[in-house]
Amino acid sequence: MSDNRNFKVPDGAEPVGRPGKQVRIQVSIPSDGDGFFGRQCPDCSLIFRMDMQQYKALPDDLTLWCVYCGHRAEHSNFLTQQQRNRVIQAAGNYGMQQVSRRLGKAIRSRPSGSRRSGVSISVTTKPYRPRPLPGINEERLVRVRTCPDCQIDYAVFGEHRYCPVCGQLPAASVALDALQADTARLAALDALPNETKALLREQGVFTRNWVDTVENVVGVVEALASALFHAAVPDAEKRVKGKGAIFQRLDPMTDLFVDAGFCDLRPALGHERWQRLLTTWAARHVFTHNDGIVDDKYLVKVPNSPARTGQRLVPTEDMCRQAIEDTKALCETLVDGLR
């Protein structure tokens, strides 16, 4: 047991509890200029940020999800390292005062000198000044996400799949966020200084980025369409059995939805956009499986292509931006068609 009377604390720390009872130290965690503060996953160690005022309104027995890996634990386990250092400093201040008090009492309880020992003890005390708590200087948020289910605001610093409060995000949110990431990646390369861009272009970084974008948009639709279909169709497994990677193929995927009683994506998107999507999907196939070399299958799917068998497709930034825009429209039409 400890007495918290006359306990000196730095700004940001406060002893709580009645005198004579065990002391608990309440340490404040400051938010940043946007009102957000950090949370760090105890499993993958990655940091995300949450709105402080919204967080305070959540239940005391809250369990959090890591937005990146999905680890779930009691919210106090999500202290960042800087926050942990702040708490340790507050505890150290308290501990030093307790040691000083007890040592002083022990010395004062003994005679000042002893004939037998020939030892004399003298004690000089100074007023204790607690060390200031360290501040928090963590990475600031760039863009705020809002969970479509619980409306909690949070910020991430990488690809994520979970809301910190309610868990798994809706497939549509994941898909649209992935497309925004591809758009941001194109913009980041375009914003580089010309000298840097020239070096990266010579090394093939731009081309690799464009190829990755084409491959990514197909993966986004595949994941979204599969999730939506399995959630909406009771016998989904039976319907897709034996059909391979059907959600990677636009026309067969659309026919699957139509057969299950949902709208046809093709007229909803329009002929011109649908043909561009077919071209993007065909390009993805040759990039992924044939190092970009045009084959007869590609020319069957894209009969108006100027390329010839054996040539290598060369993507462009404009092609990628158009592919992202078309894919976003496809994703939105998929979601709307199942409502």
* Percent of the chain residues topping a pLDDT of 70: 79
Average pLDDT over residues 94-102: 59
Q: Which residue has the tokens 């130290």?
A: 25
Q: How far is CA 87 from CA 39, 132, 136, in A?
A: 15, 11, 12
Between residues 203 and 139, which one has the greater pLDDT? Answer: 203
Give the burial class of 110: count Cβ atoms within 10 A of its Cβ; 0-12 exposed, 13-18 middle, 19 or more buried: exposed
- Confidence (pLDDT) at 50: 95
Residues 6+ apart with CB under 8 A from 74: 61, 62, 63, 64
Average pLDDT (175-197) is: 94
- pLDDT value, residue 2: 43
Q: What is the pLDDT of residues 235-247, one digit of tens each?
A: 999 999 999 999 9
Q: What is the pLDDT of residue 6?
A: 57
Q: What share of the chain is helix, strand, coil (3-state, %, to 5)?
A: 50, 10, 40
Q: Which tens digit of pLDDT belongs to each residue from 297-330?
A: 999 999 999 999 999 999 999 999 999 999 999 9
pLDDT digit string (tens) for 99-142?
555 555 555 555 555 545 555 555 555 555 666 677 778 888 87
Helices (H) and strands (E) in the chain, counts: 11, 10
Of 270 and 84, the one with more pLDDT: 270
The residue ranking higher by pLDDT, 106 or 87, is 87
Q: How much is the pLDDT for 12?
A: 58
Per DSSP, the three-state class of 228 is: helix
The pLDDT of residue 271 is 96
Q: Which residue has the higher pLDDT, 154 or 86?
A: 154
For the residues 56-62, what does the mean pLDDT come to?
A: 93
User: Which of 15-29, 30-44, 80-94, 274-288 has the largest mean confidence?
Assistant: 274-288
Q: What is the mean pLDDT of residues 248-253?
A: 96
**Residue in 237, 266, 255 with CA at minimum distance from that of residue 330:** 266
> In the predicted model, what is the mean pLDDT of residues 87-109?
61
If one compares 317 and 22, the residue with the highest pLDDT of the two is: 317
pLDDT of residue 297: 93
Q: What is the mean pLDDT of residues 64-68?
A: 97
Mean pLDDT of the chain: 86
> What are 29's two structure tokens?
């965690």
Predicted local distance difference test score (pLDDT) of residue 30: 84
- What would the two tokens of residue 40 be? 């760090």
| pLDDT at 215 exceeding the cut of 60 | yes
Q: Check whether 75 has a pLDDT greater than 70.
A: yes
Which pLDDT value is given to residue 226? 97
DSSP characters for 267-331? HHH-HHHHHHHHHHHHHHHHHHHSTTB--HHHHHH-TT-S--TT-B----HHHHHHHHHHHHHHH
Q: How many CB atoms lie within 10 A of CB 180?
A: 13
* Residue with more model confidence, 206 or 8: 206
pLDDT tens per residue across span 151-167? 999 999 988 999 999 99
Mean pLDDT to the nearest integer, 7-11: 61
